Structure 1
Amino acid sequence: MPYLLLILGLATLVVTGDLLVRGAVGLSNRMGIPPLVIGLTVVAFGTSAPELVVSLSAAAEGAPGLSIGNVVGSNITNILFVLGVPALFFSIDCKQTGLRRSTAFMVFVSILLIFLSLDQTISFTDGLILIILLAGYLVYNGVEANRMRKKGQAIEEIVEEIDDAPDDTRKITIYLLIGIVGLPLGGKLTTDSALDIAKIMGVAESAVGLSIVALGTSLPEFAAGMAAALRRQSAVAIGNAVGSNIFNILSIIGVTSMIIPLHVDSNFLQFDYWVMLLISVGLLPIVFMHRSIGKFEGLIMAAFYVIYLYFVFTVGHSVVEGSI
């Protein structure tokens, strides 16, 4: 039963999160907010809503391992799985304007997360630092985008992915209400069932967060990545993954730790953080050399993802947290 409830919870998160994004984009369009602002704020935050809701719910339930594991696992999944699997079908070009800067920033915030976790606690102050960095990141990207527009350079808008946002008030209201009500319910259901599964399997809560929950909450990014690959929109595919990783650390860990300080289990500092950092750094040469992620690279990435999941369950998180 917990497995079915987890699937139901994840499905609720994905569906209601998608409706919330579409409703918010529709409302923003009705209010005359520029597409760039919508892309950098509404869509970016909205697509991270499942991870945010699960992390907040897990922290409130006294399960910081699940909360942090969801974010770290999602970041690993976004690179190895969300980028790797679509690359098996179509090459993902890495020559987009600003991609070097964003990828380097992703590596930086990954290192920062490790540094802030060295005392095994992510405090209110740590969260505030992350939120300030997020605000700076958004402002900087907004300024750069406007500068490029003035020069006549084409910019691929994130909002282009939202191709069926509602335009009438009634539908917008329904979408927003479903999203606002459904996300917390889905988050609660996902958290409770994930904790039950961890007990049944005899593994740490973080193991479920790093794997099953992380994969489930990354489904919107995966769907967007596959759709972008099919349409040969490399900028959307890789920008979606890199941007989500930045938002996961800065917004989700930032917001959650400002509400409830997070205890960082030693497993993260010994293993998972370094896997996240290693694959982030591994993306740098591809981006800075303007290479493409082709079938060979995609196969390696997908294989590493499977190997990582194996280690999560058999080595890194095979015992319940608190008993180490």
Structure 2
Amino acid sequence: MDSMALLLFIFVIGLATLVMASDFFTDAAEKLGLAMGLPPFIVGVTIVSMGTSLPELLSSLFGIAQGASEVVASNVIGSNIANICLVVGTAAIMSTKLLRVMYNLISVDLPLFVGSAFLFALMGTSDQQFSRGEALILVLGYVIYLLYILRSSQDAEPEEGAASGAASGGASSSGAPGDGQIWRHLLILVVSGLFIFLGANYTIDSLIKISDRLNVGRDLIAISAVAIGTSLPELMVTINAARKNKAEIAVGNVVGSNIFNIFVVMGIPGLIRPLPVSDSLLAHSVPTLLAASLLMFFIVQDNKITIWEGWLFLLLYAWFMGTIFGFL
């Protein structure tokens, strides 16, 4: 009964709803955390860094629920390749200056960023699936990563806390958020959460039907259309940061999102059900992810990304998509 045009319309609307609702959800959660007195650093590490990956996580969970567990690995790999090549490449080209990268990102986060890609490759190639034990390792790995970030921030916190406390001591009562503001953020959080649920549900449901109609693998649609769509939050955040010459946010957002995708977006669904990894994914997409991750690692060793290096990322992504669909 459903025509192909209707299925495509539902897919586009569902994906757009998922992405837009995730943006509202992240913004409301960030403001709610600050209104409740949580330190800005904690809000950034937990809510903001995870919020842009909500579309990947929710679409993967609905893939599991609807019996399409093969889309999880494809979604993660496709999103991570899009984050590196499409998002970083676009940011480098659109930035008014060179994208400069802070030392801490290179010394701590970037090795884990590359290591997570190799960990994915090793786990996937061993038996062509992610077992529950491997998924548990991934989730624990992300918990350790968060604990390390929080612990490493404590050295700077006392000085910052003393300075901010002295500056805001007399204004704490007048600057305190009202109950109405908190309830407003809570309402936005609940409503956007509902739309995230609906968007993810209809996106995966239409993806399954479209792949069956076209007689193509669900992983092909997941690694292309779904991956690009769920990477839109990272793309918007990164472009805005690049335009404002905030390279640490632009590049750090991509690095943090890729780490979250492999450790959490693969880990949590993998705890529910073992996740298969197709032959085509292992033969083509996983090597591309490793190549893009290593390229990113070596390019930022001089603490900057030039416009020409941005074009190199975009050319790599154009090649990847061309070979996925058999154009090249």
TM-score (norm 2): 0.87
Question: Gaps spanning 5+ residues in structure 1: where?
Answer: 153-165, 317-324
Match of 1:146 in 2: 154
Following TM superposition, by how much is the alpha carbon of 1:141 offset from its aligned partner in structure 2, in angstroms? 0.9
Report the secondary structure of 2:38's partner residue.
Answer: coil
In 2, Cα distance between equivalents of 1:231 and 1:167: 32
In 2, Cα distance between equivalents of 1:315 and 1:56: 31
Matched-pair contact (CA < 8 Å) for 2:220–2:324: yes
Match of 1:21 in 2: 26
In 2, Cα distance between equivalents of 1:99 and 1:3: 41
2:56 aligns with one of 48, 51, 55: 51
1:296 aligns with one of 302, 308, 316: 308
2:260 aligns with one of 221, 233, 247: 247
Check 1:55–1:173 CA distance in 2 against 1; reply closer, same or farther (3 A cut): same
Match of 1:78 in 2: 83
In 2, Cα distance between equivalents of 1:233 and 1:314: 37
Letter in 2 for 1:310: G
Match of 1:116 in 2: 123
Match of 2:169 in 1: none
In 2, Cα distance between equivalents of 1:200 and 1:314: 19
2:182 is the alignment partner of 1:183: no
% identical equivalent positions:
31
Letter in 2 for 1:304: L
Letter in 1 for 2:288: V
In 2, Cα distance between equivalents of 1:96 and 1:39: 19
Check 1:132–1:228 CA distance in 2 against 1; reply closer, same or farther (3 A cut): same
2:316 is the alignment partner of 1:311: no
Matched-pair contact (CA < 8 Å) for 1:30–1:167: no
2:105 is the alignment partner of 1:92: no
2:297 aligns with one of 284, 295, 312: 284
Matched-pair contact (CA < 8 Å) for 1:26–1:167: no
Matched-pair contact (CA < 8 Å) for 1:95–1:287: no
Letter in 2 for 1:31: M
In 1, Cα distance between equivalents of 2:115 and 2:159: 29
2:201 is the alignment partner of 1:197: no
1:237 aligns with one of 250, 256, 260: 250
Matched-pair contact (CA < 8 Å) for 2:88–2:254: yes
2:144 aligns with one of 136, 142, 146: 136
Report the secondary structure of 2:245's partner residue.
Answer: coil
Report the secondary structure of 2:102's partner residue.
Answer: coil
Once the two structures are superposed, residues 165-205 of structure 1 have per-residue CA deviations (whole angstroms, 9 ceiling, x without a partner) of x9802321221111221111110111112223323443211
Matched-pair contact (CA < 8 Å) for 2:94–2:239: no
Match of 1:210 in 2: 223
- 119-128 or 189-198, which deviates more: 189-198
1:256-271 matches, within 5 Å, as 256-271=269-284
Aligned length: 302
Following TM superposition, by how much is the alpha carbon of 1:229 offset from its aligned partner in structure 2, in angstroms? 0.8
Match of 1:275 in 2: 288
Following TM superposition, by how much is the alpha carbon of 1:315 offset from its aligned partner in structure 2, in angstroms? 8.4
Letter in 2 for 1:208: I
1:68 aligns with one of 57, 65, 73: 73
Following TM superposition, by how much is the alpha carbon of 1:116 offset from its aligned partner in structure 2, in angstroms? 1.5
Question: Gaps spanning 5+ residues in structure 2: where?
Answer: 1-5, 161-178
Once the two structures are superposed, residues 102-154 of structure 1 have per-residue CA deviations (whole angstroms, 9 ceiling, x without a partner) of 111011111111122221121111111001100000010111122244577xx
Once the two structures are superposed, residues 83-116 of structure 1 have per-residue CA deviations (whole angstroms, 9 ceiling, x without a partner) of 1012112231123433332111011111111122
Matched-pair contact (CA < 8 Å) for 1:203–1:313: no
Report the secondary structure of 2:104's partner residue.
Answer: coil
Matched-pair contact (CA < 8 Å) for 1:55–1:70: yes
TM-score (norm 1): 0.88
Match of 2:173 in 1: none
Match of 2:237 in 1: 224
Cα RMSD of the aligned pairs, angstroms, is: 1.9
Name the one with the larger helix percent: 2
Match of 2:15 in 1: 10
Larger radius of gyration: 2
